[in-house]
Chains A and B, each alone.
Chain A
């Protein structure tokens, strides 16, 4: 009898511990950057992931949008102080802040998107293989182009954007080795992310030189790229989120960078107790980058084109094709 009671007590104790671990202790938080969570791009992508997590689990996520550079560190510190168990940072601008706060709160888990150079035992970092996604849309561009000339418009001239450009060129050249790729960067300052007029101008000039498909990796500037391509009856390729619907019939496809996957995965892992620190690289294989096919562009994507893109994706997955990462050696071999 006493043995039975002991076992029962042990069982109840174990169960209570399990419940405690699974339910009580997750308190997620996210710190959006200056763009704000409805920026139609990067931050909003994260928000979509957060929303999905909340809808599926019913767990509220604490949110904060910073308005000046000092608030990054403060916000993360505040989240930790308020009992957050997992804090997600958004964008490379928050790298310094999260490194400091993660060191100060070793018991709290941290995660950051688009940063891959930090090192802390309680910090997970996400980087994306944008070059792989760009390669896929490069294949699409080369298939859709009649002139054999395609364009690329980047935002600010930084290595990250050259990474997009290089993967894209690789994809184009894999289909048509003799194709010409015109490349322009909008500028060298952050304002290059939000200059649709200049984006439209650059697009027109590329179209004048014969380009009939233009891919942009330029944030808000891309609205001008898509508009100019649509006005000229040519095709544009969107970036980050699915932009096919911005000008239906004129956007060939979009290169999807699934920051929502990173956000969702971070919180889900934390909830399930499977959170681990370290570098997470999301490429085609992990569902981190992809190309967009929906009703808006179904008529633009021929069966042949679709097959070619899927083949390219399969080749990347199988390792038959390795897309060159510009950031690895600051050089583009294509």
Chain B
């Protein structure tokens, strides 16, 4: 999206304005149902950062959002809209599940974990590459196919988890537990080993992997040939062709990378916390990744901050449900929805206004400085 504003306004001020608008509307609604919006905000912040284990949960959710946000962002640099984060994450989880369930009796835990990381990415990548192929070679729009692939992934999961993979003798559609020790270290465990007592939370090593992935995406997009071609294809396919690149190839590769990042979300949920394959572990994180990427302006640093915001909302929002009888989980969902609406769907709403204001103050010529 072209803008004449300096970068710090584009990536700093505008998102803050959007969040502010969302909070104001949410605050009005909270006031209407008879609660004090400032108290509610306080509860939310406390719930997200302060109480015992809260920060751990916030960062745990943040990890999910970083993976899915990065997935959307990478595709977006090639102007591809990957809405299939859910399905790709499910397949990533399925890959981990099948690998571990098949081998945990014979292969040592550490080796299995090291294998599970690339397997989750590869499964997600495969699930992203197929819609990429269909887009590149057949012209089937990737938005449609990725959505459809979410359903296919979900059906495969249901079929396997209610069938062959389901643990006998219990009711829930889930597999048996992974063997002892097959799981990523949790932060409170690591801290405990070093003699520091930290509240128990699901935060695990995936968070570090997510940060590494974010750095990797930055390197890929801005520091490599491939990244340059991805961006070139996104800006102008014809120019990329003229420069001797095959947009078809780039589309497939980009979708595979995007899918791989989404697939790694399963590391956090399956290998990090559940230690077994369960149904619906993606819980909509794949879709929220779209809003995260939009808000983070498709830049890894922006995405990390946007993920932190969404993680805090997710965790702090639950605290509202605890604290107020009047605020139910549907209310919390609505507040989160408003923030997604303002920072996602209406992301450029304030753009013209800020632009006019900025130029009135600074003058039109200095706009690009």
Contacts and interface: CB of A to CB of B under 8 A. Distances in A.
A81 interface: yes
B273 A64 contact: no
Interface centre among B171, B318, B325 (most CB of A within 10 A): B171
Interface string A161-205: 000000000000000000000000000111100000000000000
Nearest to B52: A81
B171 A64 contact: no
B189 to A, nearest CB: 14
Contacts of A68: 283
Contacts of B333: 67
Chain A to chain B: the 6 pairs with minimum beta-carbon distance, closest first: A68-B283, A189-B162, A188-B162, A189-B158, A65-B329, A158-B171
A74 B162 contact: no
A249 B169 CA distance: 39
A92 B53 contact: no
Given A65-B321, A92-B172, A188 B52 contact: no
A159 interface: yes
30 contacts: A36-B329, A63-B325, A64-B318, A64-B321, A65-B328, A65-B329, A67-B283, A67-B318, A67-B329, A67-B333, A68-B283, A69-B281, A69-B283, A70-B60, A70-B269, A70-B273, A74-B318, A75-B322, A77-B53, A77-B200, A81-B51, A93-B172, A104-B200, A159-B169, A159-B171, A188-B162, A189-B158, A189-B162, A189-B173, A191-B158
A209 interface: no
Interface in B75-111: none
A40 interface: no
Interface of A: 36, 60, 62-65, 67-71, 74-75, 77-78, 81-82, 92-93, 104, 156, 158-160, 188-191
B57 A74 contact: yes
Contacts of A60: 325
B279 interface: yes
Given A77-B53, A92-B172, A188 B322 contact: no
A92 B169 CA distance: 12
Contacts of B171: 92, 158-160
A118 to B, nearest CB: 12
Contact of B170 (A70, A71, A92, A104): A92
Contacts of A160: 171
A72 B169 CA distance: 22
A188 B162 CA distance: 6
Contacts of B119: none
Interface string B31-51: 000000000000000000001
B200 A69 contact: no
A68 B284 CA distance: 9
B37 to A, nearest CB: 21
A283 B327 CA distance: 37
A78 B279 CA distance: 24
B177 to A, nearest CB: 9
B4 interface: no
Contacts of A67: 283, 318, 329, 333
Interface centre among B60, B172, B274, B280 (most CB of A within 10 A): B172
A156 B172 CA distance: 10
A36 B321 CA distance: 13
A317 B269 CA distance: 48
B176 to A, nearest CB: 12
A67 B282 CA distance: 12
B278 interface: yes
Nearest to B51: A81
Contacts of A190: 158, 162, 173, 279
Contacts of A158: 171
Interface in B171-205: 171-173, 200, 202
Interface string B145-160: 0000000000000110
B364 interface: no
Contacts of A189: 158-159, 162, 173
B163 interface: yes
Given A67-B318, A70-B60, A158-B171, 17 more contacts: A36-B329, A60-B325, A62-B322, A64-B318, A68-B283, A70-B269, A71-B318, A75-B318, A78-B322, A81-B51, A82-B322, A92-B172, A93-B172, A188-B162, A189-B173, A190-B158, A190-B173
Contacts of A188: 162-163
A227 to B, nearest CB: 26
Interface centre among B60, B274, B280, B318 (most CB of A within 10 A): B318
Contacts of A81: 51-52
Interface string B324-342: 0100110001000000000
Contacts of B325: 60, 63
A69 B280 contact: yes
A39 B200 CA distance: 32
Contacts of B173: 189-190
Contacts of A65: 321, 328-329
Nearest to B60: A70
Nearest to B201: A74
A62 B200 CA distance: 22
B291 to A, nearest CB: 17
Contacts of B60: 70
Interface centre among A75, A93, A158, A189 (most CB of B within 10 A): A189
A63 B328 CA distance: 10
